Amino acid sequence: LLPRIMSMVCLSDFEAYAKKYLPKIAWDYFAAGADDCTTRDENILAYKRIRFRPRMLRDVSVMDIRTKILGSEISFPVGIAPTGFHQLAWPDGEKSTARGTLLTYSTCSLEEISAAAPGGLRWFQLYIHRNRAASQQLVRRAEALGFQALVLTADLPYTGKRRDDVRNGFRLPPHMKVKNLEGYGLPPNSLDPSVTWNDIYWLRSLTRLPIIIKGILTREDAELAVKHGVQGIIVSNHGGRQLDEGPATIDALVEVVEAVRGRVEVYVDGGIRKGSDVLKALALGAKCVFIGRPALWGLAYKGEEGLQDVLRILQDEFRLSMALAGEYFKRLAQRSPKAAFNLNCRRMSQNHKKSCT
C-alpha cells in the first residue's frame, strides 16, 4: 500500500500524490498529451483566462445543486469521464469508478462493473472496431446489463503520438487484460478509421439507448451531430491526447452551444481542476462536466474512497463558487439548456479573456 499522509485540500494535492507514488510508466500514461502537450496544457490555462463578474445581495442561503442529464438526476453537475486502464491506478480498477462512465478499454468487464454498481448511472463509451460484429455485441451487452446510454468517441481514428508512452514502450502489465474485448479475436490497433456520420444510423439500428457523441469541437460538427439524431454532445479533445494544437475545450464549448441552440444536451471535459471551473463551464452553456485525470489521481490515493474525496472537494468548491458569484437557483435541474445560469459571457478577443456575469 502507498503512504497516505498528505492533507488533501484541492485536486492538485491528489495530482502531486499520484505523480510521487505511481510507477513512472503509469503516471506517464495518464499524464501524456500528444506531441508538445500544447492542447493538454491549454485545456487548463483556458479556464484561468475566464473571469467572473460577481453579483451581491442575492440570497444564497440555500442552494440545490442537483441536476438531470438525459432525464436522470445526479447530485451535482460533475461526472467521471471515460479514461483507460484504471487498474494502473488502483487494483480494483473500474469497479471503484463504477458510478461513472465505463469505456471499452477497461481492465474490468461490463459484467463486473454492473455487479459493482447495480443502481448507478452508467454510460458505456464505445469505439467502433473494424470487426463490426464485436462492436455490435458490446452494444447489446451494455444494453442488456442496464447501461443507460452509449458514448461514441469520434476523435480517435488513430491513436495520437504520446511521446512518453513511445519512450517507455508502454503496454499493459501481463496480469491486466482489456476484458471487454476478450474472446473477439481483435488484433492490436483494431479501431476502424473509416467511421463516418452515417455509422450513427448503424448504431441506432442496434439499440434503443440514447447516443452521445464525444470529441466534438466545432460548430459544423455540432450541427451534423444534431442532424444525425444524437441525444448529447461531449465537447472534448481527448484530454489533449489526440490532435495537438486544437482548441481548448472550454473555448470550443461556446461555439458548440451556439450551434446546438438547446436541441440536445451539451457536456464538456478537459482541464477542470476546481469547482469554479465547473461553474464557468455551466455559465458557458454546459449541462454537466466530466473529469478524467483527477478521477485517476483519486483512485491512486485511496481507491473509491479517494475518488469520492475528489468529488466531495469539487462539490464543495462548486457550491461555494456559486454562492460567492451571487448565483441562486431553487433547482439547478430546472435550468433551461440555453439559460447558462443567466450569466452573459462575452469574448474579449484582444486578450482572449472571457468575462461572466
Binding-site positions for glyoxylate read 29, 127, 162, 238, 241
Annotated binding site: 29, 82-84, 125, 127, 153, 162, 214, 236, 238, 241, 269-273, 292-293
Reading the block at residue 280, the C-alpha cell is: 464557468
Alpha carbons 67 and 73: distance in angstroms, whole number: 6
DSSP assigned state of 91 = T
Reading the block at residue 40, the C-alpha cell is: 493538454
Helices 24-31 and 293-324: crossing angle, nearest 10°? 50
Phi, psi at 174, each rounded to 5°: -55, -30
- Active-site residue, from 129, 175, 228, 238: 238
Residue in this structure with the C-alpha cell 466545432, named with its chain if needed? 218
Contact 29, 88 (CB under 8 A): yes
Reading the block at residue 187, the C-alpha cell is: 488484433
The residues, ordered by sequence, that sit 6+ positions from 177 with a Cβ below 8 Å of its Cβ are: 107
Is 352 annotated in the active site? no
Alpha carbons 333 and 304: distance in angstroms, whole number: 26
Annotated binding site for FMN: 82-84, 125, 153, 214, 236, 269-273, 292-293
Strand partners, 129: 191
Closest Cα to residue 47, out of 311, 276, 347? 276
Contact 287, 256 (CB under 8 A): no
Which residues are known to be catalytic?
Answer: 238
